[in-house]
Chains A and B, each alone.
Chain A
Amino acid sequence: MTTQLSPTEPTAHVIVDPPRRRGSSLRSSRSRFIAALVAPAILFMLIVHLLPTVGGFYLSFKNLNLFTFRQLFDAPWIGLGNYEAILFQDNPLRTGFMGAVQNTAVYVFWTVSATIGGGLAIALLMNRDMRGIKVIRTLMLTPWIVPSFVVAVLWQYMWQSDIGIVNKLLVDYSGLLDERPVWLIGPNSLWAIIIPSIWRGLPFAMLIFLAGLQAMPKELHEAAAIDGAGPFKRFRYITLPLLRPLIAVQLLFGVIYATYQFAIPYVMFGSNPGPHADLMMTLIVRQSFSNNLFGFGSAVSVLLMMAMFVWVAIWYRAFKRDLEVA
């Protein structure tokens, strides 16, 4: 699921600093109040998010493998050894790394672009008055609700080359194809995870874009129509720019979420999806837990996180005028 944050910050409902009063009792009691409000959340985030992240960072500098695992944080220090092994040395332990990077890049590209493009298209379709449209809109959200492990199990069954329903439809019932494509092995296996991911992500994108479309003032379209602009021109010059902030946010979280995808390939293929469908997270989990290369796994996680920071920076430069971050 993707998260959502508001692109613009309505300032009407924010209480600004009250005018100075005698003594600072009001101000300090207000501060105490604010502190009390945010304290529990901060506490949890510190203990469960930030501390372990520091811990993970720390472990990436350690030689934590099957022999040293019981020492946990006391395992021997090897500094940048893990990073060198991944990035620079032709180290046997980095097999699969470049493949997973490539697969993840392809996966992210197709999943995010199809989700956003498809979500936008369907939103446009849903933005009409027709009988039953409200029911249709609600029902459309269902794929998003289905838990990702159910999605994986279901599609794994559907993709079976001899008895799965997809091939039955494509070959047996409709005759569209002659040969039964193989989805779960070989190059198609990446598509075997891309397609369910798109299927599951479309409704959410559709929902956001639909809300944006409906919030659009009709006068702009009407004025443009009077001026002679056809539907495509109106879309390109009015709709799209107004939707840009929403697209931007979908893009940001879409890429992050897709890069960190784990459940669908893991449940569908197991810990080793094969050279075509191995994503970064399945690689990390496999190297860490199946091959007991925990220090290595931590180091790859750190690199992945840094890549995401780079992405956020790029995104921010491209889209910062579209939003104010609180």
Chain B
Amino acid sequence: MSRRIAVALLAIAAVFAGALVYSGCGGDDDDGADSGTQGQAASDIKPGTTVRLWIMPNGPQPQEDMEAALTPFTEETGIKVDVEVVDWGVQLDRIRNAAVSGEAPDVTQAGTTQVPFFAALGGFEDLSGRVEDIGGEGAYPDGVWQTTQVAGQDGVWSAPWFTEARSIYYRKDVLEKAGVDEATAFQDWDSFRATLQAIKDNVPGIQPFGTPGKKAFDLVHHVMPFVWDAGGAELSDDNSQSTINSPEAVEGVSFFADLVADGLADPSQLERDGTQVENQFKGGKIAVWMGGPWVLGSIEREDDTNWVPAARKNVGVAPMPAGPQGDAFTFVGGSNLMMFESSENKNEAWEVMKFLSQDQVQTDYASLLGMFPARTEPQQSYGESNGANFESVFQAIQQGRTYAPIPQWGAVENAYKERFGTILDNAAQGDASDAAIQKQLDEAAKEADGLLAQTTG
């Protein structure tokens, strides 16, 4: 009898095996249903439903902040929101797995540069039928609206949520000690270098500048503005080829790498990721740093214990320095909200997204985080009413640029990030020669070309 059982078990296994391998795996069973809904009646929404929302760590207390922001929503509509925080390090894989497996929340946050990738992957809801509810294209600055689009694929794939732009952060007291005038310290590349040199020469005990290396997920956002300033670009105009190895790009990367090679940037920061270097700035170890507006939000927060008093009280913000051609580009990013096709509560999920797109809610949440609202009007009034530092960031957003909205961008950015990291590492070891940089960028371009050439069949 045991033999028969054993044989039966093996037979079942064989059937499983055959089915698994030969039938392949079907696509999702859910058809993207309600994307055509033009507005929705209040009766379409069922109070008591729970909407699952994924967010990334948007501040020191991401869960609490988000839940607090959503409390009025739940009180008003009766829809509960189950918030889950997914770390930036794993969010890409998680969202991708969720989209493909169908085991997904209803709404997720996604980085603005990731939207094309997810849209092309499939599994997300096209919002074009709903987006008029929140004002459509007209309610958002051009650059922000672009992040909801994908080159080559119609539709609106996300709702913009908040915006950020990178700027220069510096210690006012250190600049004073170094004898540098704040107003002109960072106005162009030359004065930027001169400022760092002055700090190095005159203020012992603090490193002039620090940048993370390949461990930082946003390394490319720090280096690319210099490439843009020099006239270079990450891809050709038609997005078919990488131009990261052009002479202009080499010039831009070279400027940045020279900061490391010449001792103006602390090499030990390269071992760290973005957050760790940010904390070095807060901890008073580096005088100048490039980062996003969330740092401004954390100055006031007592629970952020990474600040030392001298740093907390003396933060200054300046737009990025202008390059040889007079441009002072910066990377503008932020996050958008995307709805999963597999959601069974699309109407309720859209209510959540609508709520988070309201002007006041945007302003309140953004100010909690130190980000900027994505919508045009709140963004402007936010920038103008919060002091000089926020005004600087607002100016930076107007000079902002982002990357090509192609699905392969994430992988291309990885390829660039790897090479930028290697370039900086080499610079830390003393080699920031043009030849070395060119070699790395050539390899980056080659890999990017290969990634761009990926086809659907």
A: which residues have CB within 8 A of B?
Answer: 28, 31-33, 35-36, 39-40, 42-43, 46-47, 51, 54-55, 58, 63, 65-74, 76, 91-93, 95-96, 160-162, 182, 184-186, 269-270, 272, 274-275, 286, 289-293
Contacts and interface: CB of A to CB of B under 8 A. Distances in A.
Contact of A95 (B408, B443, B455): B443
B121 A66 contact: yes
19 contacts: A31-B3, A32-B2, A39-B9, A46-B13, A46-B17, A70-B27, A70-B122, A70-B123, A71-B27, A76-B457, A95-B443, A182-B267, A182-B271, A185-B267, A272-B214, A272-B417, A272-B418, A274-B421, A292-B411
A72 B24 contact: yes
Nearest to B1: A32
B414 interface: yes
A185 B24 contact: no
Interface stretch (B220-228, B331-339, B353-361, B422-430): B422-430
Contact of A270 (B2, B100, B215, B415): B215
Contact of A92 (B20, B25, B428, B447): B447
B84 interface: no
Contacts of A68: 456-457
B411 A95 contact: no
B385 interface: no
A269 B215 contact: yes
Size category of the binding interface on chain B: 35 or more
Contacts of A51: 16-17, 20-21
B140 to A, nearest CB: 27
Contacts of A289: 93
B193 interface: no
A186 B407 CA distance: 32
Interface in B382-423: 407-408, 410-411, 414-415, 417-418, 421-422
Nearest to A44: B13
Contacts of A270: 89, 214-215, 273
A270 B9 CA distance: 42
Contacts of A36: 2-3, 5-6
B24 A73 contact: yes
Contact of B271 (A40, A74, A91, A160): A160
Nearest to B28: A70
B414 A291 contact: yes
Contacts of A275: 422
A10 B136 CA distance: 79
B450 interface: yes
A12 to B, nearest CB: 27
Given A91-B450, A93-B451, A69 B9 contact: no
Count chain B CB atoms within 10 A of each CB in A39, A40, A42 and give the residue with the most: A39
A66 to B, nearest CB: 6
A186 B428 contact: yes
A251 to B, nearest CB: 34
B454 interface: yes
B270 interface: yes
A92 B451 contact: yes
B411 A66 contact: yes
Count chain B CB atoms within 10 A of each CB in A270, A290, A293 and give the residue with the most: A290
